Amino acid sequence: MRLAEKIRYLREMEGTLRGLGRAMTQQELLRAIGEETDTKLSQSYLSQIESGARPHLTNTTRLLLAKFFKVHPGYLVDDPEGYQVELLSDARALEDKFDLWLVSGAERFRRDPKVCHALLSIARHEDSRKCILLLEAILQTPELLERLAQVLQLESVEDVPEADKPTLVTPTSRRKK
C-alpha cells in the first residue's frame, strides 16, 4: 500500500471514529490536528501527499501524523511490493482483507463514480462476502437479473441512482456499531 492510500485510509477511519460516517475532509483533518497538537500543516502539503506528488514525509510530519492517528511512524511509508501485514486465519480478518480489497478497487475506479460507489457499498455492508455470493447467484440466473432490474426500475446499469460522492469506509468502522 502506498503512503497516499494510507493517509486517505486514515482520514476515512478517523472520520468514522469521530461519528461523521464518512472520511474527514482534508480541511477537517488539518483543523483537528491543529487543535489537538498545536501544530499547523498546510492543505497543499497534505494534498501533495495524498495525490502521490510528494511520496515521502519529513520526519517531523511523519511523527506528527503518527501521533495524531495513533499509528506507528513506520506505518507512514510505502509498503514494499508484495508485502503482507500478517497471516490471516480468522474469518473476521479475512472479511476485513476482502473489504480492503474492495476499497482498493473502488479507489482504482474513482473516475467511474457508479462502479466506485457500488464497490464501496459492498465494502460497507456487514457481510460483503454474502453480497458477492448473492451477486454470483443472480448472474447465474439471467431472468432474475432482468426481473430485478425491472422491479428496481433500472433500465440499465447506467441508471443506478448516484448517491452522494463515493467515500472510502474502512472495515473496522462496521465494528463500532
For the chain, the maximum distance between any two Cα atoms, rounded to a whole number of angstroms, is 60
3-75, which class in CATH? Answer: mainly alpha
Domain ranges of the chain: 3-75, 91-171
pLDDT, block means (10 residues), the chain with 177 residues: 86 85 90 90 90 88 90 85 57 67 81 84 86 89 85 62 44 44
pLDDT of residue 75: 85
Label residue 160 left, alpha or beta by phi (over 0 means left) and psi (-120 to 50 means alpha).
Answer: beta
pTM of the full structure: 0.48
- The position carrying cell 462496521 is 174
